[in-house]
Amino acid sequence: MTSLALLNARLLDPASGYDGPGAVLVEDGRIRDVMRGAGAAAPTGVTAVDAGGLCLAPGLIDIRVKTGEPGAEPRETLKSAALAAAAGGVTTIVVQPDTDPALDDPAGIDFVQRRGGALGLVNVRAAGAATRGLEGQRMAEIGLMDEAGALYFTDVDHVIADSRTLMRVMSYATAFDALIAHRPADPWLSQGAVATSGELATRLGLPAAPAIAERIQLERDLALVEQTGARFLVDQISTAGALETLARARARGLEVAASVSINHLSFNELDIGDYRTFFRLDPPLRTEADRLALIEAVREGLIDVITSAHTPAPAEDKRRPFQEAAPGAVGLETLLPAALALHHEHGLELLEVLRPLTIGPAGLLGLEAGVLAAGAPADLVLFDPGAPVKIDADRLRSKSRNSPFDGRLLQGRVSRTFVGGREVFAA
């Protein structure tokens, strides 16, 4: 493979805390050297790329990406998702197991990862189902899927209501040091809800659930974590009350991580407006106080991972009455500029924004990526953090265009994306 030197860049490495001038030398798909300071030159025989002072950071890692392959390819394929990821500076995606059939055995995991690898775009990994068919009754083949390369285990948006089943899943997973992710949402309080209880939901006549439904379920889940000693990810935390519960669990020494959707950092319940179905999400959008609490949790490091929660839905599934519309939004291409709004609008440092998009998920899942260091994979993104971007859903690379950011003015443009030292996107 051709050696490459990325010169005259502003290096952003959340793992080491370095934010300053420098260059990166790439050889055979890995970082050979990181040269800090201005004025570094390319060695003889190495292709030089002048970054022009743009930011060079580890490629983003998105651990919650839904596709339609296998089973619903018109919604999204692995290829269209990978193209969208590359354009967004995302170099690793973790495909969710709620496909058709569900990824609940090693053959499904192997299919997704082989198919993704054959595309030659971004790194495509898979999460395995925690229970068979995502039905919450019988434990899936966690051990065999772990051997096949599944990065963690989850029933995605399906709550495992049976405490005995979830405890068995957690207990079994500890034998492999496997990570279990679970959405905190009391299934009885949340059943049929499409909004958060409050004045707006009442005025719009929408079925709603109280925010405490998330906290109630999280309390149960953390009690099971304490009982079993499992590694646990609170999947898509979205309320201030749940953050308080999470903080107490961390203080007790429980090995618990948390992720948040970029949508819940960017929008609140008022964005539903007049039944705008692109804002029909699961979990539903919360209050502005919840959103600000989530942003502070990112700043303080209480939240470990920011995800796009990429959930493609074709127009015919979104252009329906609000409570009948499919939940979710695409987000791979908009993840970076949306996250950079935390820097531009809320004062987070760039390293604070990038940490839960790079080394945070990499450390949680045991990946080598997410760092600018000699020997690490040369998965890199070069971007201009101040460049204005107007999101146009019609120009997104995803096969579905259900973006709540459509028409929104953001800052942050991806210039080039490299995976294993190969350029997979250039603006």
- At 192 the three-state DSSP class reads coil
Q: State the pLDDT at residue 12.
A: 98
Does residue 81 register a pLDDT over 80?
yes
Closest residue by Cα to residue 103 from 94, 184, 159: 94
CATH of 4-56+377-426, one of 2.30.40.10, 3.20.20.10, 3.40.1160.10, 3.90.650.10: 2.30.40.10
Does residue 68 register a pLDDT over 80?
yes
What percent of the chain lies above the pLDDT cut of 90? 97
Does residue 366 register a pLDDT over 90?
yes
Q: Where are the alpha helices (DSSP H) in 288-409?
A: 288-300, 315-318, 335-346, 350-354, 359-365
How far lies 374's CA from each of 43, 61, 143, 377, in Å? 16, 19, 33, 9
> Per-residue confidence at 45, pLDDT binned at 50, 70, 90?
confident
| pLDDT, mean of residues 293-312 | 98
pLDDT tens across 128-137, in order? 999 999 999 9
Is 0.75 surpassed by the pTM of this model?
Answer: yes
Does residue 413 register a pLDDT over 80?
yes
Query: What are 116's two structure tokens?
Result: 């993704």
pLDDT tens across 206-238, in order? 999 999 999 999 999 999 999 999 999 999 999
Token match 């839904």: residue?
66
Q: State the pLDDT at residue 42.
A: 85
CA dist 247 and 156 (Å) reads 23
CA dist 18 and 170 (Å) reads 37
| pLDDT, mean of residues 161-173 | 98
CATH assignment of 59-365? 3.20.20.140
Does residue 1 register a pLDDT over 60?
no
Q: State the pLDDT at residue 379.
A: 98
Closest residue by Cα to residue 116 from 99, 130, 129, 131: 99
pLDDT tens across 236-259, in order? 999 999 999 999 999 999 989 999
> Per-residue confidence at 85, pLDDT binned at 50, 70, 90?
very high
Between vectors from CA 112 to CA 59 and to CA 114, what angle results, nearest 5°? 85
> Per-residue confidence at 44, pLDDT binned at 50, 70, 90?
confident
| pLDDT, mean of residues 11-40 | 96
Does residue 153 register a pLDDT over 60?
yes
Supply the mean pLDDT for the chain.
97
CA dist 205 and 227 (Å) reads 41
Query: What are 98's two structure tokens?
Result: 């709620």
Does residue 167 register a pLDDT over 70?
yes
| pLDDT, mean of residues 279-302 | 98
pLDDT tens across 374-396, in order? 999 999 999 999 999 999 999 99
Query: What are 418's two structure tokens?
Result: 């490299």
Domain ranges of the chain: 4-56+377-426, 59-365
| pLDDT, mean of residues 336-351 | 98
| pLDDT, mean of residues 281-307 | 98
CA dist 247 and 237 (Å) reads 12
Does residue 39 register a pLDDT over 90?
no
Cβ atoms 162, 135 nearer than 8 A: no
> Per-residue confidence at 97, pLDDT binned at 50, 70, 90?
very high
The number of beta carbons lying within 10 Å of the beta carbon of residue 226 is 15
CA dist 300 and 314 (Å) reads 37
